[in-house]
Amino acid sequence: MSEFHHSLYEDLAGALDEPLSAPPSPLFDHHMHLGDARATQVYHECALGYGVERALGIATLERAREIRHAFGDFFLFCGWPPIRDVNLTAELIDKCVREIEQQRDEGFVALKFKIVPDREGRAPRVWLDDPMLKPLFDRAQELGLAVQAHIAQPDAWWRRFYVDGRAGHKGHYFHQVEYLLDAHPGLTYVGVHMGGHPENLAYLQQLIDTYPHFYVDTSATKWTIREISRQHERAREFFIRNAGRILFGSDLVVQAGVSPTYYTSRFHVQRMMWETPYNGRSMIRDPDSETEPVICGLDLPAKVLKHIYWENARRILDLAT
Ligand SMILES: [Zn+2]
């Protein structure tokens, strides 16, 4: 075993040497960030070792071509239009529309956007109710692209980093989500990181019940594990009730030279969380947690796991399998 990633507790990371038993279905990683082919090779090997058979990777067109050449159809691709922290102009939106059209022609299935406070904790410059954005979302819907949305950040960040109020209220970010879903009722929307609001499962339930094309994924392992473990009983009910609306995702960011245990630990911890009744410390350090990070495993039924791990991604991304 190579050196452990710095995010791990070494006394627990030894578990990564012992493979978990086979999952009840293959896994589809709905949210990861691709690197070059060489660096992505490490992610690919680690993913296969945990039963991940396909993944949706965020990439540029050039990167996607390189990755497709190296990995065949293991990866699907998600574009990321440059509309964050910019002055929106008609020319820029036009360019973004042409870009997603070309990406669609080359097999992309999704586009990502991110509405979060900036590094200094200030509210974003671009909000979803900006009428300039409408043609982009209209075209995405026409092209059958799913939207992958990173909205807001953990409540813990509002308590720790955004105390001066410049980030605005977290609720305002979600008014924007509702605006988008009202304005584009046919758009497939996946809120990554448990929709951006794992702290508030009642609100996520409300979005799921109101919007038939609203989904969440399980990515951002520390945040998701922390909040789902905290609400264990309620979360288990939520996952079973909404098995058709939750996708597995890692949010792993491929990086050259990183310890493979960065990748394996996220798969390991999430699979422990969803598949087992394990109740104990998590091997991943969590700076946002006030106590030692724990996993309270949900021990979900196999038929629920099959939806979360594979079926929902297959359905909404139209995989030919
Ligand atoms: Zn991400």
For residue 163, give the 3-state DSSP assignment. coil
pLDDT, position 3: 87
Instruction: Report yes or no: 184 and 135 within 8 Å, Cβ to Cβ.
Output: no
The Å distance, Cα 22 to ligand 1 centre, comes to: 26
Q: Which residues of the chain have pLDDT under 50?
A: 1
For residue 109, give the 3-state DSSP assignment. strand
Where in the chain are the domains?
Answer: 10-317
Q: Burial code of 104-124, b = ≥16 C-beta within 10 A, e = fewer?
A: beeebbbbbbbbbbeeebebb
Instruction: Report yes or no: 225 and 284 within 8 Å, Cβ to Cβ.
Output: yes
- Measured distance CA(44)–CA(32) in Å, rounded: 11
The Å distance, Cα 84 to ligand 1 centre, comes to: 14
The Å distance, Cα 107 to ligand 1 centre, comes to: 20
The Å distance, Cα 32 to ligand 1 centre, comes to: 6
- Measured distance CA(108)–CA(162) in Å, rounded: 35
- Measured distance CA(307)–CA(314) in Å, rounded: 9
Residue type, 195: G
The Å distance, Cα 113 to ligand 1 centre, comes to: 10
pLDDT, position 321: 52
> How would DSSP label each residue in 290-303?
SS--EEE-----HH
What is 10-317's CATH number?
3.20.20.140
pLDDT, position 83: 84
- Measured distance CA(187)–CA(195) in Å, rounded: 15
Residues paired with residue 75 on neighbouring β-strands, in sequence order: 55
The Å distance, Cα 33 to ligand 1 centre, comes to: 6
The conformation of residue 279, written as its DSSP 8-state character, comes to E
Q: What is the mean pLDDT of the chain?
A: 94
The Å distance, Cα 321 to ligand 1 centre, comes to: 25
- Measured distance CA(128)–CA(114) in Å, rounded: 10
The Å distance, Cα 35 to ligand 1 centre, comes to: 13
Virtual torsion, Cα 250, 118, 202, 315, nearest 10 deg: -40
> How would DSSP label each residue in 235-265?
HHHHHHHTGGGEE----EE--TT--HHHHHH
> In sequence order, what E strands does the chain have?
27-33, 52-58, 75-79, 108-115, 146-151, 189-191, 214-217, 246-247, 252-253, 279-281, 294-296
Residue 63: its H or E element? helix 61-71
The Å distance, Cα 115 to ligand 1 centre, comes to: 12
Q: Burial code of 77-87, b = ≥16 C-beta within 10 A, e = fewer?
A: bbbbbebeeee
pLDDT, position 86: 85
The Å distance, Cα 223 to ligand 1 centre, comes to: 13
pLDDT, position 290: 86
| Predicted model pTM | 0.95
